[in-house]
């Protein structure tokens, strides 16, 4: 996510169970990462944070992160972030 989302953007993959309304408080952390090798860094097409998963019963304090890679022929576009949320 570090390559796609600036550090000061409030995009998180973990929220504490202590907040009654975790989404309104939006105080979380980026605890879930996907590491790539230096050669794959150029192939990062985007990152998707599946925020909706936090609403599942029973809830988890973490949500999945999906890394999208592009083929070498599709290089040149800027990586993007997608938050899947209701």
Q: Domain for residue 78, yes or no? A: yes
Domain count along the chain: 1
Could you read off the pLDDT of 44-55 as tens digits, one per residue?
A: 998 999 999 999
Q: Domain for residue 29, yes or no? A: yes
79 is in which domain, residue-wise? 14-83
Tell me how far apart the terminal alpha carbons of the chain are, to the nearest angstrom: 21
3-class DSSP assignment, residue 62? strand
> Cα separation of 73 and 70, whole Å?
8
Confidence of residue 24 (pLDDT cuts 50, 70, 90): very high
């Amino acid at each position: 996510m570090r390559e796609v989302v600036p550090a000061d953007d409030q995009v998180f993959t973990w929220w504490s169970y202590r907040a009654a309304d975790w989404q309104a408080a939006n105080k979380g952390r980026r605890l879930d990462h996907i590491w790539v090798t230096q050669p794959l860094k150029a192939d990062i097409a985007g990152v998707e944070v599946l925020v909706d998963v936090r609403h599942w019963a029973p809830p988890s304090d973490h949500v999945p992160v999906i890394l999208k890679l592009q083929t070498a022929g599709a290089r040149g576009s800027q990586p993007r972030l997608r938050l899947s949320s209701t």
